[in-house]
Structure 1
């Protein structure tokens, strides 16, 4: 019972960006199973993700916004406040990747990745933190980073993605210090190669190159990230802030 209470999210409202597919969808369902009411923020309605959560007997709903659109995010978060009365946790998950070498990628593609992965997470974190502070909530913000924020992936070239995720890690540390007095904890999660559409739809020659570099000789499963997010979201991590939690099967160690 002690551990169940420590890791419980019962009574908490959790905002998940990009929760309609991949890691976001799997983790959103896990957060709901831990007791959270889940609000999924993304541009299109995540019907399947919401149905899964509701079929489990839990609560989820959709708020529409593009994470890089400040006004749309503020409006969406205001709607969550009106419907649920509070926001306790943010899983800042939405992200994109463009596998192109620097000389081939356009500046517009660079900006697109930075706008979604870094600026988008900044916009969502700031908007949610404002609500938490107004209501006196000692919340938790979990920013999606990547092992790519600490290492350079090979053989694919993705400078924009790597730079965006390195930015997320340092932004997280900066916000952790800035918002500590308000009782808001800010941490980042850095997965390795996870078997989601973003990675499984990549060319086979890339995956063939990745596998020999993986100490566990396999890609991770989205389900293997649930416990890490629940730890950072729950009261079990009330003295943890500014952490970049790497879950990559040891990839970045070699």
Structure 2
């Protein structure tokens, strides 16, 4: 008998044996019912009538647990939105905004060796929402890396003030530099096409060109979806989504007409990939998801022109505005940080390196990417 036929015979015998075993299992002998003792509960299980503490998390999702009233316990019950949390963003030009800390201290001293391709020397960058918060600090990082800067904001007075402070800091930290950046301030309502077009033309007149764009203008609010005023939803989408689209397409037109390469960095959020808890913010999350996919789509469409488009998705960042929110909701910081693997919120200056990398030639083969700066939040 050949080896091959022997193997086939062995397999047939195993199959017959398995079928007999299954038949035996499914067709038990008919016998008289026996009196059995009550089933004993394993120490790993909890009886519905037991006085033991109720466990709301089970190793098996197929075995629903019961609380003392007999209703099913909810696994992951703490990962829910909390309708009591309602934080309204006061708006870019509002006097309700907390004072900014202006510039990051200790950043900008020259003479530190680094890879030459990280330099933004000779480039002109535009940052929307650049008068405060993350946009302001990223703009400072761009200047430290050698770029000239156009700060765009709804509050031009604050933008002008910050432009002056950034320039003063650069001169102080680089007293021997013979290349002083040009830093200008510009007004724009990012959700209005005509305002955006006028702003872009003003920037080009002042700087002669645009090489990089950072779309940092945006805001969030916390309302339950069923009670969210629709006019506010439209405003939120207008700033976060329409504003990103309008600036990106206008800068792209400029780059394509010049036949120049360029880099755009959309400021998204980890909220575009996960659902934040416990605060309800569905429109913001959806808006940031739209920004992320917009970047991917434009990266593919504009690759042939040498225009790269990427996203930075920050996690919870401790800006002046965030600090005000946490002061009003003291339990919120603990809930947020408990879900961050690094155990802390980010600092605005944590975005300086990522934005410089994506705007510079060091990332010349990176486009359509989503760089998450969230302390590991979205990994869990």
Which TM-score applies when normalising by structure 1? 0.97
Alignment of 1:1-254 (within 5 A): 3-45=114-156, 46-55=159-168, 56-57=170-171, 58-202=181-325, 203-254=329-380
Quote the Cα distance in structure 2 between the aligned partners of 1:174 and 1:49. Answer: 33
Residues 180-211 of structure 1 deviation map (CA, whole Å, 9 limit, x = unaligned): 11110000100000011342222222222111
Supply the RMSD in Å over aligned alpha carbons.
1.3
Taking a change above 3 Å as real, the CA distance of residues 92 and 35 of structure 1, as seen in their structure-2 partners, is same
Following superposition, the deviation at residue 2 of structure 1 comes to 8.2
Structure number with higher helix proportion: 1
Matched-pair contact (CA < 8 Å) for 2:182–2:207: no
| Deviation digits for residues 45-91 of structure 1 (CA, Å, limit 9, x no counterpart) | 21332122111124311111111011111111011111111100001
For the Cα contact (< 8 Å) 1:53–1:59, is it kept in 2? no
Which secondary structure does the structure 1 equivalent of 2:371 belong to? strand
**Could you tell me whether the CA contact under 8 Å between 1:66 and 1:73 is conserved in 2?**
yes
Alpha-carbon distance, 1:28 to partner: 0.6
User: Which deviates more from structure 2 when the two are superposed, residues 138-147 or residues 97-106?
Assistant: 97-106
Q: Is 1:9–1:35's contact at 8 Å kept on the other side of the alignment?
A: yes
CA contact (8 A) 2:160 2:184 kept: no
Which runs of structure 1 show a deviation greater than 4 angstroms over 4 or more consecutive aligned residues? Answer: none
Query: What TM-score does the superposition give when structure 2 sets the normalisation length?
Result: 0.65
8 A contact 1:32–1:59 mirrored in 2: no
**Contact 1:29–1:52 (8 Å) recurs in 2:** no
User: Unaligned stretches of 5+ in structure 1?
Assistant: none
Larger radius of gyration: 2
